[in-house]
Amino acid sequence: MTDPAKDEAVAECIGRFYGKALILRTIVSLTCTGIIVLALAGCRQDELGTTNLLSVDFSEDTLLRYKLVSSRDTEVNLDSTGSASKARKSKPQKTSEKLVLVIAYKPVVIDPYGLSTIEARCESAKVTRTSLVRKASERDAVESLAGQTFTFQISPTGRNEDYSDLKALIQRLGDKAFASTGRRRGRIKNPDMISDFSALQWYLWDSIASIEDAVGGVVPGQSWKTRQFVPLPMPIPAARETTYTLDRVEETDSGRKAVITSSYKLSDSRVKNWPRPYKGQFNMRGLFGFLRKFKFRSLEGAGEQIFNIDTGTLESEEQHYKVHIDAGFMMPLGDTVPTVTIDQKISVELLGQ
């Protein structure tokens, strides 16, 4: 049975929708009479109770420009057990790397009742990397993103429904990550931050896309979960369980803002559609080329996101988490146990629209 008061509010909302410009804010609701497409633009919180209906919106003449940043400090301790003598005990090896992207998104085809096609253009891509071991001599493959475009299809709930163009782009980047070496040495992969770009784009609207009941909306204090792959300095699959919580809704001059917090922990299962940039067998350049048998011990962290409910726009996000990994050497070296600690930060900032 449906709620007559709620149905009346929804009907009024639909009526107002047809008198406005096309905005991608649709949602599908199942009722006893069948499937009805609900237009959410203009629905106010007082009409539908305390529920907040979240959807990702693109209007015809809007260009959204985002600054996307992924940075990490990686520390490799070659003998965490302390078994080595003081005379030969090595200091932890530290590396810092940072990717800064500016990507502009514009709608190519808007379908308020289904999937809309969005074109993304990378305006700039810059990687900085420092290491106490050696300095990478070649340009990071992900910097070739600058000037390139890709398209994807997105639903009103923020879910990417067509990854084909993005996957092809990621594979082209992967081809650029290999050094030119002789056959004797085989294929050598340089350090790169391709997986960081993948994660930034893959999960840009995941806080909205992962809501279990989009029709029912969310109320302050409500949580929902999803699983996401983790960008790492080594090309191995890892996943985290992310829990989103609608902390509160703030009334501002520019619209109602949803403050969505997030917490992270290590996932026991992998992400099925993890994008793989590299083909065939290869070795890694640097210290990670000598480490094997990575075993994840823990992942913990938290973040916060600001989402404008009225405009359907992600405005900012901050993430911070640490990953702890045990490893082994390519050739066993006594009872030494290498460990890897990764301190990762990710940020998203809306530059303009």
Backbone angles phi, psi at 105, to 5 degrees: -115, 130
Predicted local confidence at residue 13, as pLDDT: 40
User: Is the confidence at residue 144, as pLDDT, over 50?
Assistant: yes
Say how far apart CA 296 and CA 284 lie, in whole Å.
Answer: 19
324 with 301: CB under 8 angstroms?
no
pTM of the model: 0.82
Say how far apart CA 188 and CA 176 lie, in whole Å.
Answer: 11
From first CA to last CA, the distance across the chain in angstroms is 42
Q: Which long-range contacts (CB under 8 A, 24 or more apart) does 78-84 make?
A: 78/336, 78/338, 79/336, 79/337, 79/338, 80/326, 80/337, 80/338, 80/339, 81/335, 81/336, 81/337, 83/334, 83/335, 83/336, 84/336
342 with 326: CB under 8 angstroms?
no
Predicted local confidence at residue 113, as pLDDT: 75
The residues spanned by each domain of the chain are: 64-352
Of 64, 11, 59, the C-alpha closest to 37 is 11
Look at the alpha carbons of 258, 259, 265, 266 in this order and tell me if their dihedral is positive or negative.
positive
What 3-state DSSP class applies to 12? helix
Instruction: For 291-343, write each residue's pLDDT tens digit.
Output: 888 999 999 999 999 999 999 999 999 999 999 999 988 766 666 789 999 99
Predicted local confidence at residue 329, as pLDDT: 82
DSSP 255-298: EEEEEEEEEEEE-SS--TT------S--EESSGGGSEEEEEEEE
- Contact partners, residue 222, CB within 8 Å, separation at least 6: 245, 246
Predicted local confidence at residue 333, as pLDDT: 61
Q: How far is CA 192 from CA 7, 81, 136, 138, 285, in A?
A: 52, 30, 10, 10, 11
Backbone angles phi, psi at 299, to 5 degrees: -150, 125
pLDDT-derived band at 280, boundaries 50, 70, 90:
confident
Say how far apart CA 215 and CA 51 lie, in whole Å.
Answer: 10
Pick the CATH number of 64-352 from 2.60.40, 2.40.70, 1.10.3470, 2.30.230: 2.30.230
158 with 206: CB under 8 angstroms?
yes
User: Is the confidence at residue 37, as pLDDT, over 50?
Assistant: no
